[in-house]
Chains A and B, each alone.
Chain A
Amino acid sequence: MRTIDFVAKEMGRRKWKAAAGISCILLGISIFVAAQTTNEALYEKTKEQLLRFGANIIVQPKDEPFDAYSGSPGGSATLPEIYVNRIQNIEHSGMLVAVSPKLYERFEVGDVNLLVVGVTDDERQAKPWWMINKMVVTDEFPRGKQVLLGHYAGAHLGAVSPIKLDGETFAVTGVLDETGSADDFAAFVPLDVLQELTDNRRMVNLIEVSTSCIACPEMNLYDFVDEIDAALPDDAKVIAVKQIAEAQMGTLTKIGDFTRIISIVVLCLGAFLMMNYMSSSVSERRREIGILLAIGMDAGKIYKVFISKALILGVVGGLVGYAVGTLISMVAGPQIADTPVSPIFQLLPYSVVISTVICVISSILPARRATRLDPVEALREV
């Protein structure tokens, strides 16, 4: 018999007791895993939504309000289109994904007041999520007198019949799938065509700039803003959309903090329950410990037995806790976070290690109590 056999036999033949011990740590670990897993899913979802927002820098005429809700400028002031070239020539232009100039105009089409947006090819880079029947937009991108309709605009106007804008006929190339953004209600035509049509030659209302990173270590969003600002004359205003991003990221951070606090609280609770469990097993087994002390079990062996038991409880509790926590988050997560939750395998070693450490630490004091038991007192009790 080795220490591990001794402990394993005890646990094996007192299964309910062992299960009670495991459940003490299981509770904490599974809530910890569930919270982390759900939080991660929530984080990923929000990040994806942030990326969906598209541009992270907006260039627009000074003194013009930006309508963050519709993603379009509030007024009709314009900037020279040539600013696009200046932006494309900044020092770190390599990190720019798209520089997409836009012109906005409203037209009455039938009974619909349609927002028509003039765009260049860069719009496709800026909006990789634009799909038609789940396929990336290619030939449907409007050229010449063509128009691409947003989802609801298409639903209203009919996808096939050409539409008339200011007397000019535009063939419909396609209707975008729903994007969940203001794009759903707009129509897209080539920028130069709209400029011609509205007598705004070489002018734009807005330039959207997408960078490949919102918070890269070498270059954060505000560095891009500064570079672009320096490259443009005073009549242009450069805004980091990060204000919006930060607001959302701030919520995420708060949820993250909440998750951490919950995790710490439940893990402390687990430690408390474990300590209580170990302690009560010392009290319940005074007689047995008394015999073992009398026949020559020393403090070293007692610690070894307790720590071995803690290791077994910890490892099993960590494994089962991971499984239970993951299951909880996969079942309850979609209801809380409104997003599918997938297991985080990297959490498995963490939950095993945390569980084991908690169990071992919680066993030290009870083990110490066992070593200090007076065998004469313990043996007197029957």
Chain B
Amino acid sequence: MIEVKNITKTYGNIEVLKDVSLEIKNGDFISIVGPSGSGKTTLLNVVAGLLTPTEGEVMVDGVSLYKLSLKQRIAFRRKSFGFIFQTFNLLSYLTAIENVEIPLYLAGAKSADQKLVAKELLDRVGLKERLSHLPSELSIGEQQRVAIARALANNASVLLADEPTGNLDTKTGEEFMREIKRLNTEGVTVLLVTHDVEMAKFANRQVRIIDGRLVS
């Protein structure tokens, strides 16, 4: 369970997040929607352990993220969170399977195991035939599915996605969301940032953020 407790984030004297609290239960699928500049990405980064809040704390399964040392926080991210960004998720010089191997490599898994797991994951997102394609040889939709596979490589329990369908057309975007939904039903917790209302509907719960404040 992730507890976001009274988070405030200020840049200079601009308050980007204002006393935000949110509870994400294991297996939840929450979408954060809101206009551009409302603080969605900022909130996601704080939850992800990437951005230290000015006030408040983030608890993940009882661990206060920002009380960990930087090194511990990185290790925590590695094993608990999977990330999907809007664009350029993948390393351009690595093939699909190699990109999925990266988190496993970072976690110190054996080469043979990395290959095995990565293959299985790509199979799971329907890219069995695209293992040794470079990102430039894949469609944007396929690239995003490779990103899903990579996000799941370390058996992450939480998927954090920032506008993952932002660069996809409606049809591909919906396919992508169905994939995420399926993973959620298999037990993965999902926190999705989007400003696309249609995509947000895939979630169990929608949270609106306006001007750094949660309204819902």
Contact = CB atoms under 8 A, between A and B. Distances in A.
Contact of A295 (B45, B92, B106): B106
Which of A13, A287, A288, A295 has the most C-beta atoms of chain B within 10 angstroms of its own C-beta?
A295
B74 A293 contact: yes
Given A295-B77, A295-B78, A298-B71, A1 B105 contact: yes
A376 B16 CA distance: 15
B101 A1 contact: yes
Given A1-B102, A296-B106, A291 B74 contact: no
Interface in A1-36: 1-3, 5-6, 9-10, 13-14
Given A296-B74, A296-B107, A375 B50 contact: yes
Contacts of B71: 298-299
Q: For this complex, into which size category does the number of interface residues on chain A fall?
A: 20 to 34
Given A291-B85, A291-B89, A376-B50, A296 B111 contact: no
A376 to B, nearest CB: 5
Contacts of A265: none
Interface in B51-77: 51, 71, 74-75, 77
Given A1-B101, A292-B102, A375-B50, A298 B75 contact: yes
Given A295-B78, A295-B103, A298-B74, A1 B111 contact: yes
Interface in B1-56: 45, 48, 50-51
Contacts of A9: 93-94, 98
A180 to B, nearest CB: 62
Interface in B102-133: 102-107, 111, 114
Interface in A291-338: 291-299, 301
A1 B105 CA distance: 6
B49 to A, nearest CB: 9
Nearest to A10: B93
B87 interface: yes
Contacts of B134: 13
Tell me the dominant secondary structure on chain B's binding face.
helix
Contacts of A382: 87-88
A13 B136 CA distance: 12
Contacts of B91: 10, 288, 291-292
Interface residues of B, number: 33
Contact of B83 (A294, A297, A376): A294
B145 interface: no
A371 to B, nearest CB: 10
B195 interface: no
B71 to A, nearest CB: 6
A379 interface: yes
A296 B82 CA distance: 10
Nearest to A12: B93
Nearest to A382: B87
Contacts of A292: 91, 102, 106
A283 B120 CA distance: 35
Nearest to A14: B93
Interface in B146-168: 150, 154
A98 B135 CA distance: 80
Interface string A340-382: 0000000000000000000000000000000000011001001
A2 B85 contact: no
A296 B89 CA distance: 14
Nearest to B48: A294
A14 B92 CA distance: 10
Interface in A245-296: 287-288, 291-296
Contacts of B154: 296
Nearest to A299: B71
Contacts of B106: 292, 295-298, 301
A298 B101 CA distance: 16
B114 A13 contact: no
B155 to A, nearest CB: 13
Contact of B74 (A2, A14, A297): A297
B77 A294 contact: yes
Given A1-B111, A2-B105, A297-B74, 15 more contacts: A2-B111, A3-B105, A5-B111, A6-B105, A10-B94, A13-B93, A13-B134, A294-B50, A295-B106, A296-B75, A296-B77, A296-B103, A296-B106, A298-B74, A298-B106
18 contacts: A1-B101, A1-B105, A2-B105, A291-B83, A291-B89, A291-B91, A293-B74, A294-B50, A294-B77, A294-B83, A295-B78, A295-B103, A296-B77, A296-B78, A296-B79, A296-B103, A298-B74, A301-B106
10 interchain residue pairs of minimum CB distance? A296-B78, A13-B93, A1-B105, A298-B74, A1-B101, A296-B77, A376-B51, A10-B93, A296-B106, A376-B50
